[in-house]
Amino acid sequence: MDWSEQIDAYCERLGPGFWAEPVNAITNLAFLIAAFVVWRRAQGKGLPLAEAMAIVLAAIGIGSFLFHTFATRWAGAMDTAPILVFILLFSFAATRDLFRQPLLTTAIVTLLFFPFTALAYPIANIAPFLANSAGYIPVLLWIGLFAIMASGQLSWDFWTGFALFALSVTFRSLDMKVCSQVPIGTHFMWHILNALVLGWFATFYIRHMTRARLAGDTARG
Predicted local confidence at residue 121, as pLDDT: 84
Residue range 147-197, pLDDT digits in tens = 999 999 999 999 999 999 999 999 999 998 898 899 999 999 999 999 999
Is the per-residue pLDDT at 80 higher than 90?
yes
How many whole angstroms separate alpha carbon 73 and alpha carbon 66?
Answer: 11
How many whole angstroms separate alpha carbon 164 and alpha carbon 197?
Answer: 6
Confidence of residue 221 (pLDDT cuts 50, 70, 90): low
Residue range 113-134, pLDDT digits in tens = 999 999 988 877 766 667 678 8
Cα distances (Å, whole numbers) of residue 85 to 142, 202, 208: 15, 13, 22
Q: Average pLDDT of 75-99?
A: 97
Residue range 3-30, pLDDT digits in tens = 888 888 899 998 889 999 999 999 999 9
- The helix (H) or strand (E) run that includes residue 118 is helix 113-120
Q: Average pLDDT of 97-102?
A: 97
Report if pTM > 0.85. Answer: yes
Instruction: State the burial class of residue 216 (Cβ atoms within 10 Å of its Cβ: 0-12, 13-18, 19+).
Output: exposed
